[in-house]
Amino acid sequence: MIDLAPYAEKLQNGPVAVFGLGLSGLSVVAALVKAGFDVTAYDDNAENCKKAEALGASIEDVTSKNLSGFHFLMLAPGVPYQFEPHGVVINAQKYDVEIIGDIELLNRIDHGKKVIGITGTNGKSTTTALMAHTLKEAGVRAEMAGNIGVPVCDVNMDKIDVLILEISSYQLDLCPTFRPDISVLLNITQDHIDRHGSLLNYIEAKEIILDGEGVGIVGVDNDYTQESFNRSFFKGQRNMIPVSVKSEVTEGFFVKDGVLFTNKKGNNAEVFSLTGFDTLKGQHNYQNMACVFAVAGELVLAEKDIERSFQNFKGLAHRQYQVTQSDNITFINDSKATNAEAAAKALSSYDNIYWIIGGQAKEGGLSGLEIFKDKIVKTYLIGEASDEFAVWLKKYGFDFKKCKTLDKAVDKAYKEAKKNKETETVILLSPACASWDQFSSFEKRGDAFTAKVLELTSKS
C-alpha cells in the first residue's frame, strides 16, 4: 500500500471524499484512512458502501453533500467527468473541490521510483504486461498497476524500483499534475466518443501523458499519433522517440520485414528479428515489442535480456493467447477482440483459420474483415449476431455454419480442423462482438473457450 501519511499531514488530515467503490475505490479508501484522512465515501452499490464503512470511511451521498472545506474528491475513472458530468462532479465543482483519481496520488507522495505510463486505444494491456515481464527477466524490481495488475494504492513502493502503469483516457482525465517519467502512446483510433464527447477531446485526454519532462515514446503510424508526436516534439519538454512498423523513422525505432531497427544520427542498425515469438504475432505486436524495447533502452537493459524475455513471454489471457496445440492445430483465445478492428489484428497474424465469431454486435459489424477471406477456412457463428453476420459472410463468399453456442462451435471447428491433417491450422476465437448476450464478460467467454478446448484435446 502506498504511504499517504506525509501527504495527509501536509493537508492536516481533514476531510476528503471518494465516489465509486469498486476494487480501486476501496483500495483508495483503505490508503486514505490508514494515512489519517477523514474519509466520506459513497457508491450506488450498498454492498460496496458496507465494505468502505468496514475500512473506516463514513458513508454519505457526496452527490448532494455540502463539500465545503473538503480537500479533494477522489473519483472512480468510470464516472462521467469532463463531458456530460455526473452529479457528483457538478457538486464538487460547486464547492470548488479538486477532482482527482488514484493515479494522481502518486504525484502527491515522494516515492522516488521510476514510473512508466502506457496508454493507447489498443494494445495497452499486452504492452504493459510485456514491459513488466521484460524488466523482471532482467532482474529489475518492477510491478504493473493501474488498469492491469493491482490498484495503484495497493502497490508497496518500498519493494520496487520501477512502476509500470496501464492508463486509460478516463484515468488521464483525473491526473491534473501526474506525469510518468517515461510515457508511451501506442496508437489512437476513434473510441470512447460517448465518454469524451468528440474525437478531439479523446485525443487531448490521451496526449496528457506526453506533457511535462521525461521521455515520450509514440507509435506514429496513424495521423492522430503522428500529430501528437509533433506537438510534443515542438514543445521541447520531453525527449521524443518515434516508433513505426510501417516506415523508417529517424532517431527512433522501426520494423522492416519483421526485423527491428534503430536509427541514431541518421544511421540504421539492425537489432533482432521479431518474427520468432509464438505469443507475440502480428504487426500490432511488433509495435508493442518495439515500444518495450525503446523503454528498456532508456533503462539500459541488455539487448540479449530483452530478446530472451520476448521469447518466454506467455502472453496475456484472452488476447491472442495460445491455449494449447494438438494434432497440428493451435487454439487461440482472443476473446478480448470485441470489435472488427481488434479481430483484424488476430486474422492478420495467422493462416488456415477456423474462425469462431459472434455475440452482441458492435456498430460497423464485420466491415473491413473481408480482406482476410483467403486466410479463413471456415467460420462458426454464435450468439445474437449470428443472423446479421451470416448475411455479411454470404455476401463475401465465406464458408460458414451457425452453431448458436460457443461449445458447439468449438466442437465443430475441432472436428473439421482435424480432417486437415497435413496442414498447420488455427482455431481462433476472435468474436468481433461484445459477450453480454451469452456471457457476463469477455473473460468468462474466453474461460469457457479454454475449458472446452482442454476438454476436447485431453481426449485426443
Q: What is the pLDDT of residues 15-54, one digit of tens each?
A: 999 999 999 999 999 999 999 999 999 999 999 999 999 9
The domain boundary residue, chosen from 281, 311, 341: 311
Q: How many structural domains comprise the chain?
A: 3
- 42, 188: one domain: no
The domain boundary residue, chosen from 293, 311, 329: 311
Q: Check whether 192 has a pLDDT greater than 70.
A: no
The pTM score is 0.86
Alpha-carbon distance 166 to 123, whole Å?
A: 10
Residue type, 208: I
Res 190: pLDDT: 64
Q: Check whether 347 has a pLDDT greater than 70.
A: yes
- 285, 371: one domain: no
Q: Give the CATH number for residue 50.
A: 3.40.50.720
Q: Which of 66-75, 193-202, 237-246, 273-282 has the lowest mean pLDDT?
A: 193-202
Contact 72, 96 (CB under 8 A): no
Domain that holds residue 92: 5-100
- 114, 260: one domain: yes
Judge whether 316 lies within some domain. no
Q: Give the CATH number for residue 307.
A: 3.40.1190.10
- 262, 157: one domain: yes
Residues with Cβ < 8 Å from 6, sequence gap 6 or more?
109, 110
The domain boundary residue, chosen from 100, 123, 138: 100
- 159, 300: one domain: yes
- 189, 288: one domain: yes
Q: Check whether 360 has a pLDDT greater than 70.
A: yes
Query: Any idea of the CA torsion for 92, 93, 97, 98, to the nearest 10 degrees?
Result: 110
- 340, 440: one domain: yes
Sheet holding 425-429, edge to edge: 321-326, 329-333, 425-429, 353-358, 376-382, 400-404
- 215, 119: one domain: yes
Res 1: pLDDT: 86
